[in-house]
């Protein structure tokens, strides 16, 4: 399967540095506040874990699972909530964590769902912003990188449930 990798887009060191910088910014912005990190499964599990460890403020961890891809390289546009949060979010500062935003439809759906639960604040942190594919604008408070129009895997991102365990982010070959 490694033969299907075209190039490494972001290596382990670059990712670690960016995650640390994001964590430092979030720590400053949420100092003294009750922060809930909501990991969007499955793709953001690794990013969320690393990010949580880089945040010095107290934070709790929650999980939500939404899907719009299935086994393809493009979003279907239909967002399905497979697992919902368990914590009462009212009056808490909520930070939705995802590894990548492209069309914005999944994040828009989650933002609406969680806004209705009346958090004190609701923001988004994303490692990769593929704005060239954006169909719906979503507010991104913290982002690591702008991503060109490439289908990437690794660091939690998959293609057909493969490649999530790669420690870097890589583009697949077009015929991969």
Supply the residues annotated as catalytic.
Answer: 102
Helical H runs in 32-164? 45-54, 105-115
Identify whether the C-beta of residue 117 lies closer than 8 Å to the C-beta of residue 91. no
Task: Report the residue count for the chain.
Answer: 176
Could you give the CA distance from residue 17 to residue 15 in angstroms, rounded to a whole number?
5
SS3 102: coil
Which pair of structure tokens corresponds to residue 92? 């808490």
Task: Please list, in sequence order, all residues whose beta carbon lies within 8 angstroms of the beta carbon of residue 12, skipping any fewer than 6 positions away.
Answer: 167, 168
Of the candidates 175, 176, 168, 170, the residue with the CA atom closest to the CA atom of residue 46: 168
* Site of tokens 């365990």: 165
Cα–Cα distances (Å) from 59 to 12, 23, 85, in that order, read 25, 12, 15
């Amino acid at each position: 399967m490694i033969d299907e990798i075209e190039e490494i887009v972001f290596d382990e060191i670059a990712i670690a540095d960016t995650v640390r910088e994001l964590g430092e910014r979030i720590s400053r912005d949420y100092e003294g506040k009750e922060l809930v990190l909501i990991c969007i499964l499955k793709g953001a599990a690794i990013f969320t874990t690393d990010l949580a460890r880089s945040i010095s403020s107290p934070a709790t961890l929650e999980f939500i699972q939404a899907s719009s891809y299935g086994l393809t390289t493009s979003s279907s546009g239909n967002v399905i909530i497979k697992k919902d949060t368990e914590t009462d979010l009212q009056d808490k500062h909520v930070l939705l964590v995802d590894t990548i935003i492209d069309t914005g439809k999944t994040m828009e759906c989650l933002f609406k769902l969680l806004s209705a639960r009346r958090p004190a604040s609701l923001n988004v942190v994303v490692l990769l912003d593929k704005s060239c594919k954006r169909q719906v604008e979503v507010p991104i408070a913290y982002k690591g990188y702008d991503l060109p129009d490439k289908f990437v895997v690794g660091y939690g991102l998959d293609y057909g449930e493969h490649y999530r365990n790669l420690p870097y982010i890589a583009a697949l070959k077009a015929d991969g």
